[in-house]
A and B are shown apart, each in its own frame.
Chain A
Amino acid sequence: MADGSIGLWTVPLAVLGGAIRVSTPFLFVSLGECITERSGRINLGLEGTLVMGAMSAYGISYLTGSPWLGVLAAGITGALLGALHAGICSLPRVNDVAVGIALMLFGTGLAFYLGKPLIEPTAPRLPAIDFGWWSDIPQVRAALRINVLFLIGVALAPILYWAFRTTRWGLLIRTAGESSDAARAMGHSVRLIRLRATMVGGFLAGIGGSFLSLFYPGSWNEGLSSGQGITAVALVIFARWDPLLCLWASLAFGGAAALGPALQSVGVTSGYHLFNAAPYILTLAIMIITCSPKRTLTGAPAELSITR
């Protein structure tokens, strides 16, 4: 202890710290995708939105000196990409999965192209709130330096859960997702509902991207997302389209991502490839446990092109 090390306690602490640090992009993308999918449409392009969000947030933060303007810009970029997806999908005979894949490639490609000059400069980062003031162990303090975006994400999950169940908007989105005929019979435009849901989803995913470039790891480069956007989309299915489960799933993924490096740092060095793969093993395991050939996925919106 005298030398400032906390021995094996590093592992649970790193998993906790990782759950807080790494989970935020998962959380925002999965909540965004949850809204979109509940309205009956899949937007697989959120990986591209995440990367575009990260790039635009970094660029705006660098140019204006205000990271919060960067977050806003990331959200707007995401909403625009969402509008593009919804716009193309509202044309007849368009497959939303294919459009999503195209937009994923488009978003990452465009972000790499526009982000070229942003790799070198250092942009102002988002501040962190120190929740570890009560502890004098520096490791605990470091793990509890929490960004506001994480707190917003955590608050958003129960709000969405409540909104889906009890508000008029929640009901409309669910109606569009369960039966577009019913929504139409009620006199609502399904196209408009899905446009809005996809834009809100994109907005949230863009903000998730801004967390990557402006807080943790905290700089723009092309390997930044390493597939987190896609993982988060899969996470929605895994969380059964339930915002509260999205929160827990994101935390579990964040913690699992921290497991590999943390185990190596305390000397568990064999099989690190396996531990680095922990998030994916976790996904596979839960998918296998919860899937059944006898019924469709519980909670799946009936209008989704994958369940229809």
Chain B
Amino acid sequence: MDIGRISRRHLLQGGAALTLGAAAGLRPAFAAETTIGFIYVGSRDDYGYNQAHAQGAAALKKIPGLKVVEEEKVPETDAVEKTIESMINLDGATLLFPTSFGYYNPHMIKMASKYPKLRFEHCGGLWSDKDPKNAGSYFGYIDEAQYISGIVAGLTSKSGKLGFVAAKPIPQVLRNINAFTLGAKSVNPKATTQVIFTGDWSMPVKEAEATNSLIDQGVDVLTCHVDGPKTMVENAARRGAFVCGYHTNQSALAPKAYLTGAEWNWEALYPKFVKMIAAGEGIPNFYRGGLKEEIVKVSPYGEAVSAEARKAADEAKAKFLSAEGFAIFKGGLVDNKGKTVIATGTDRGQKDPELEKMDYLVEGVIGATS
């Protein structure tokens, strides 16, 4: 029965290719229906990482001529290769977004080599010249938004103690912890960030325990980097602490406690990618950007954010948006073991690949990476 289905699809694809060929030059590429596949590691409505991508996918569904297929809860194993194969062979997907970190190498690279005519876009990976040309990686400098969250947190906290519930000490997480801390320290030099690693991306009981332990230590503003911030946000709000969100906007869960948050802006980026393809220019293999490039955004301020904090945060935002930009990780940076990690005089701008290898916690963070 599968043979019948595939051959019918092949016929349709063949027909589509013919139509496309005939129309070339006259119409944009999406005259024939293009199918885009999205693969998520967790649930699409987790108030977190996967929901942010699903919102991006939803933005694509609104564009006529695009068909979006999605699969949730695909583990970072061979399973993702099977999903990619079935999206290509059964649904006719020509552009794929495997969105989780662990999908990249070896799984997506393998699939990209096997299907050189299709396009693969990975979120978070580090594309290099050695990788297939039809693969690409994109990511946002969400630490810029975390820096702004840090400013708001630093000016809202009464104890000067901030808390960070983190999953694993990988460079992206460490960058967020460090940027959040540096933001807080820029307005309150005495501020500290206590970090707790739960060990995995989705551990609701551990996240709740971490939240309670931090608040027991006198922490009064918390943020996190786990897949679903809902547990942290709700439990912190119940204990009367303030929160800064992550991935998407969680203000609906705790309107009084929600200060601001670092959000992805995939709903702006994905339509941009599609336009690039339609215009025939293609997506750059290595695509990165921050607030200025509209890949990340900051949640609207909550009611508990003071006028002073709003002003300081807006000023920082303006610096990030300015033509010369703003480097969070500046020369003379010392880690929390007293070692100088960035030599004086060398500012590490956002695009610096060194930052993608970050393995330290800056001064002011209480915690260790191992």
Interface membership of B207, Cβ < 8 A: yes
Interface membership of B302, Cβ < 8 A: no
On whether the beta carbons of A269 and B199 are closer than 8 Å, the reply is: no
In chain A, residues 216-241, which have Cβ atoms closer than 8 Å to a Cβ of chain B? 216-219, 221-224, 226, 228
Assuming the contacts A18-B209, A219-B230, A258-B209, asked whether A5 and B368 have C-beta atoms less than 8 A apart, the reply is no
For A224, the chain B residues whose CB sits under 8 A away are 204
On whether the beta carbons of A265 and B217 are closer than 8 Å, the reply is: yes
Interface membership of B34, Cβ < 8 A: no
On whether the beta carbons of A265 and B196 are closer than 8 Å, the reply is: yes
Stretch at the interface among B131-139, B231-239, B258-266: B231-239
Give the shortest distance, in Å, between B189 (CB) and chain A (any CB).
16
Which of B204, B210, B230 sits near A265, CB closer than 8 Å?
B210
Interface membership of B221, Cβ < 8 A: no
Interface membership of B188, Cβ < 8 A: no
Interface membership of B104, Cβ < 8 A: no
Stretch at the interface among B40-48, B88-96, B305-313, B345-353: B40-48
Interface membership of A257, Cβ < 8 A: yes
Q: Mark B157-170, 1 if CB is under 8 A from A, else 0.
A: 00101000000000
On whether the beta carbons of B45 and A116 are closer than 8 Å, the reply is: yes
Interface membership of B66, Cβ < 8 A: no
Residue of A nearest to B228 (CB): A221
Assuming the contacts A120-B47, A264-B196, asked whether A223 and B228 have C-beta atoms less than 8 A apart, the reply is yes
Which of A4, A116, A223, A267 sits near B159, CB closer than 8 Å?
A4
Q: What's the interface size class on A, roughly?
A: 35 or more
Q: What's the interface size class on B, roughly?
A: 35 or more
On whether the beta carbons of B46 and A119 are closer than 8 Å, the reply is: yes
Which of A6, A112, A260 sits near B216, CB closer than 8 Å?
A6
For B194, the chain A residues whose CB sits under 8 A away are 265
For A116, the chain B residues whose CB sits under 8 A away are 43, 45
For A269, the chain B residues whose CB sits under 8 A away are 366-368
For A142, the chain B residues whose CB sits under 8 A away are 212, 215-216, 239
For A93, the chain B residues whose CB sits under 8 A away are none
In Å, the complex CA distance between A261 and B204 comes to: 12
Interface membership of A270, Cβ < 8 A: yes
In chain A, residues 249-305, which have Cβ atoms closer than 8 Å to a Cβ of chain B? 257-258, 260-262, 264-267, 269-270, 272-273, 276
In chain B, residues 210-250, which have Cβ atoms closer than 8 Å to a Cβ of chain A? 210, 212-218, 228, 230-231, 234-235, 238-239
**Which chain B residues have a beta carbon within 8 Å of chain A's beta carbons?**
42-43, 45-47, 73, 159, 161, 194-199, 202-210, 212-218, 228, 230-231, 234-235, 238-239, 253, 366-368, 370
Between A and B, 18 residue pairs with Cβ closer than 8 Å are A3-B159, A112-B43, A116-B43, A122-B234, A142-B215, A143-B216, A216-B205, A217-B235, A219-B231, A221-B204, A221-B228, A221-B231, A222-B73, A223-B203, A260-B206, A261-B206, A261-B212, A265-B210
Given contacts A5-B159, A226-B202, 10 further A-B contacts (CB under 8 A): A6-B217, A142-B239, A217-B204, A217-B208, A221-B204, A257-B206, A264-B213, A264-B367, A265-B194, A270-B370
